[in-house]
Amino acid sequence: MDVVLSVASVPAVRIGADSGGTFTDVVGTDGRTLKVPSTPDDPGRAVRLGSEALAGTAVMLLAHGTTVATNAVLERRGARVALVSTAGFADVIEIARQDRPSLYDVWADRPEPIVARADRLEVQERIAADGTVLVELDLQKVPSVPAGVESVAVCLLHADLHPQHEVLVADALAARGHDVSASHRIAPEFREYERAVTTVLNAYLRPVCGTYLQGLATIGDEVVVMTSSGGSVDLATAADLPVLLLLSGPAGGARAAAEVAVACGWPDAVSFDMGGTSTDVCLIRGGVPEPAAAQVVGGFPVRAPALGIHTIGAGGGSIARLDDGGALVVGPESAGARPGPACYGHGGTSPTVTDADLVEGRIPVGAAFGQMGRLDVEASRAALDSAGVDAAGVIAVVNAGMERALRSVSVAQGVDPAGLALVAFGGAGPLHACELAESLGMPTVIVPGAAGVLSAVGLLTAPGRRELVQSWPGGSDLTGLDAAIDALAAAASALVEPGSDPGSDAVLTTSVDCRYRGQSHELRVASVEAFGQEHLRRNGTIRPDDPVEVVAIRAVVETPAPASIEEVLADWEGRWSGAVLGPTVVEREDCTIWVPAGWRGEPGPLGSLVLRRVEVEEVE
């Protein structure tokens, strides 16, 4: 990989660096952008090369988004973990829930538990849900951890409510020199299986992510890392709680997309991020990305704050092939950056979505993709022909998969896409957005300024964020609820500025997870009083005579972002003039935009291009 490093003296800048499966995108607050091929063997190397190429050593702040945690789980490349549980509960992570991964597929298997049976340890102790100690803990009988274990997860029964035994066990293991993750710190919420899995995942990721993240410490004077919830934490917290990073990069894109959508007059929208390896979509309501009701990564439930991002294996590098039945399949396998699509000229021979877009004329012949150089359309044709696949068919298949993803965050949530804009970004998103919007009846597509690197923009414009959650044992008995929320809010504030008030610039919000008695799922609302109307909006029904139960309370503190989106995208203002009428291709240094027939684009705020269906405009 050839990267020309800048040696010129430049003013100190703040940088956002998003490590993707194919490219690492780097954005500066001075408006400069850069894409470098990712380095999967050492993701930090691409971040360092990109940062140095953009700003030399004058990096005031590095805001980082990462795929390392996600890939470690998906590829099962984490640490060897031991699980310490209450006697009789060692197999909870394997027993799991009664639901099956695929209801009608008798051959579908659950993912193998991360902790081997021999590494599941039990300790004699028992605390009831009401806090009664049923079996006293004897620290002398805490079992020894098997040789070769790199990290230990401790998850005792009801430790989300009464963690005293778990604290003692975790401290004892730490005193023996073990790296310990305890459930009362990682996921203090009820549901034993989910709490255990989340704690195990944190232990599984700590050795992998810790070393890599600490290697970023010297890149900038300050380093923050994006979490799945759309806010950033300091480097030490990210290394301590890597389970928070499973949707790190995509969350940055959703945050930035929401801000651009609001600026364009669309507080309700869907973010559509199609990169080289995957496509990430997220519903935006009222200018805010929707939080996830539940997060599943690699088949494992994760009880950690996250945005409601749906991800599929569809990107510009997704490989097209014929399956055993002769049907055309696209992805989830990707050609990555090296060798990449055939048109890159780096030895790739498998046809990809990018090759199909090039052959179909959506990408101009001879176009250059940054350091990838000029694209070779003949190589793309040869790759498609050798695989026996048609370019138009590849595009149709990948679009169908992405349409299903968009429906899952809109129609499946009871939201009519006709009232939403589609915010298209990533290197490949603007090539497919108009067709997807048309198939869903969405009237407007917004292509932001710096669309090809918008997730990195979002890293810079996301606030600092810490969220605490605590199980509520009272159910429909709300006695003491307000006091408990106040106490949790104070604890969250202390995480931002320990020992002091977080200051006037910090924003504190609280919420409760509620359900009707007898339900097995809950909704997050600002207050118990707001639950009925939210239940009506989400589910179409309201039950005013049924008691409402609180199962958890939450407190979130957000601090100002390193930069505003107006600052980062200031250089993009005024780049558009006049209208763009399809069918046409719009080339930009960060992405290529395909405008089909029946669509027209006009300049929008923050350097965006706002595309609308012509027939909709004529009706108006």
Same domain, 157 and 289: no
**C-alpha 79: how far from its chain's center?**
22
**Does residue 161 register a pLDDT over 90?**
yes
Per-residue pLDDT, 498: 47
Same domain, 434 and 471: no
Bridge partners (DSSP) listed for residue 153:
83, 181
Same domain, 329 and 450: yes
Which range is most confident: 113-122, 361-370, 578-587? 113-122
71 within some domain: no
CB within 8 Å of 478: residues ≥ 6 apart? 528, 550
**C-alpha 217: how far from its chain's center?**
22
Q: Which two tokens stand for residue 148?
A: 């070769």
Q: Of residues 307 and 367, which shows the higher confidence score?
A: 307
Q: Which two tokens stand for residue 50?
A: 């990109």
338 within some domain: yes
**Does residue 7 register a pLDDT over 60?**
no
**Does residue 408 register a pLDDT over 50?**
yes
Per-residue pLDDT, 43: 87
Per-residue pLDDT, 409: 95
Same domain, 436 and 468: no
Same domain, 192 and 156: yes
**Does residue 500 register a pLDDT over 60?**
no
Give residue 229's pLDDT band: very low, low, confident or very high (50, 70, 90).
very high
3-state secondary structure of 582: coil
Q: Of residues 500 and 228, which shows the higher confidence score?
A: 228
Give residue 204's pLDDT band: very low, low, confident or very high (50, 70, 90).
very high
CB within 8 Å of 489: residues ≥ 6 apart? 508, 510, 555
35 within some domain: no
Domain harbouring 337, CATH code: 3.30.420.40
Alpha-carbon distance of 37 to 47, in angstroms, equals 10
189 within some domain: yes
For residue range 25-51, list pLDDT tens digits in order.
999 998 889 888 888 888 899 999 999
8 within some domain: no
Q: Of residues 132 and 574, which shows the higher confidence score?
A: 132
Percent of the chain with pLDDT over 70: 95
Q: Are 238 and 244 in contact (CB under 8 A)?
A: yes
Q: How far apart are the first and last CA of the chain?
A: 51
Same domain, 451 and 474: no
Domain containing 187: what range? 78-205
Please, what is the average pLDDT of the chain?
Answer: 90
Same domain, 517 and 594: no
368 within some domain: yes
144 within some domain: yes
For residue range 452-482, list pLDDT tens digits in order.
999 999 999 999 999 999 999 988 999 999 9
**Does residue 615 register a pLDDT over 90?**
no
Furthest-apart CA pair in the chain: how many Å?
Answer: 79
Alpha-carbon distance of 41 to 45, in angstroms, equals 9
For residue range 264-280, list pLDDT tens digits in order.
999 999 999 998 888 99
Per-residue pLDDT, 370: 57
Per-residue pLDDT, 176: 96
What DSSP assignment string belongs to 181-199?
A: EEHHHH--SS-HHHHHHHH
3-state secondary structure of 45: helix
Alpha-carbon distance of 402 to 424, in angstroms, equals 12
Per-residue pLDDT, 3: 39
Same domain, 386 and 495: no
Per-residue pLDDT, 1: 35
Same domain, 125 and 178: yes
**Does residue 503 register a pLDDT over 70?**
no
Alpha-carbon distance of 113 to 500, in angstroms, equals 42
Bridge partners (DSSP) listed for residue 494:
none
**Does residue 162 register a pLDDT over 80?**
yes
Same domain, 451 and 477: no
Q: Are 402 and 279 in contact (CB under 8 A)?
A: yes
Per-residue pLDDT, 373: 66
**Does residue 315 register a pLDDT over 60?**
yes
- Final residue in a domain of this structure, among 205, 228, 250: 205
**Does residue 616 register a pLDDT over 70?**
no
**Does residue 338 register a pLDDT over 90?**
no
Domain harbouring 509, CATH code: 3.30.1490
**Total Cβ atoms within 10 A of residue 150:** 17
For residue range 546-603, list pLDDT tens digits in order.
999 999 999 999 999 999 999 999 988 888 777 999 999 998 878 889 999 999 999 9
Alpha-carbon distance of 402 to 315, in angstroms, equals 10
**Does residue 336 register a pLDDT over 80?**
no
- Final residue in a domain of this structure, among 510, 536, 560: 560
pTM of the complete model beyond 0.95: no
Per-residue pLDDT, 504: 57
Bridge partners (DSSP) listed for residue 331:
none
446 within some domain: yes
For residue range 176-203, list pLDDT tens digits in order.
999 999 999 999 999 999 999 999 999 9
Alpha-carbon distance of 351 to 445, in angstroms, equals 28
Same domain, 468 and 453: no
Q: Of residues 373 and 440, which shows the higher confidence score?
A: 440
69-83 burial: b if 16+ Cβ within 10 Å, else e: bbbbbeeeebbbbbb
Domain count, the chain: 3
Alpha-carbon distance of 583 to 585, in angstroms, equals 7
What are the strands, taking DSSP E only, across 428-492? 444-447, 464-475
Same domain, 277 and 426: yes
Percent of the chain with pLDDT over 90: 70
